[in-house]
């Protein structure tokens, strides 16, 4: 998907987008990267002005018991608005925006399907806003790494097979001590 690297050109500036962040750039040598499990990343691009942005959200929206004033940067409902508004503030036209969605995996069987809820939220949000979804890689059980070049709109998404992912070993249980104890 990416063009061949230019040997004599300036180095590529890689920026990691963490949970709760949204960034926008028109830099031709900028690449946004993120790693996703159940989280979702949205990549927006305006081809007319070669401007793009990425967000990374943890959950779709706050539970009903939280007030609207308590919404924070970990929720898609907040970060989608932030990303769109940043794009518009930097000269993008909402009519020109194109979207890619990544992530939304359900990594642990038997747990809530948070990834599915995040993916469904992101799709419906874009549909409500009238922003075309041109590519998605959502769902499944694999983690993903996404690299996005905002000025060109190019994206590379790689999955990590569960067998290749680092195993999370349970913490060793302390052994019961046996023998005599002498107190002094």
Which one is predicted more confidently, 25 or 8? 25
Which one is predicted more confidently, 21 or 65? 21
For the ranges 4-8, 44-48, 179-183, the maximum mean pLDDT occurs at: 44-48
Q: What is the pLDDT of residue 163?
A: 59
Q: Domains (ranges, CATH) in the chain?
A: 13-160 (3.30.1330.200)
* pLDDT over 90 (residue 98): yes
**What mean pLDDT comes out for the span 98-113?**
89
**What mean pLDDT comes out for the span 41-70?**
83
- Give residue-wise pLDDT tens across range 118-159: 999 999 999 999 999 999 999 999 999 999 999 999 999 999
Burial class (CB in 10 A: 0-12, 13-18, 19+), 15: middle
């Amino acid at each position: 998907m990416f063009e061949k690297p230019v040997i004599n050109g300036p180095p590529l500036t890689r920026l990691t987008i963490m949970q709760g962040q949204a960034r926008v750039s028109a830099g031709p040598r900028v690449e946004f990267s993120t790693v996703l499990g159940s989280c979702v990343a949205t990549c927006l691009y305006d081809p007319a002005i070669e401007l793009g942005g990425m967000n990374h959200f943890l959950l779709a929206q706050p539970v009903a018991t939280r007030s609207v004033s308590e919404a924070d940067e970990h929720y898609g409902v907040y970060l989608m608005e932030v990303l769109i508004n940043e794009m518009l503030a930097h000269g993008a036209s909402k009519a020109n925006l194109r979207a890619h969605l990544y992530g939304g995996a359900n990594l642990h069987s038997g747990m809530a399907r948070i990834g599915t809820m995040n993916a469904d939220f992101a799709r419906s949000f874009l549909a409500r806003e009238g922003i075309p979804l041109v590519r998605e890689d959502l769902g499944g059980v694999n983690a993903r790494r996404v690299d996005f070049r905002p000025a060109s709109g190019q994206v590379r998404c790689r999955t990590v097979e569960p067998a290749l992912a680092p195993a999370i070993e349970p913490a060793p249980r302390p052994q019961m001590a046996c023998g005599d104890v002498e107190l002094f």
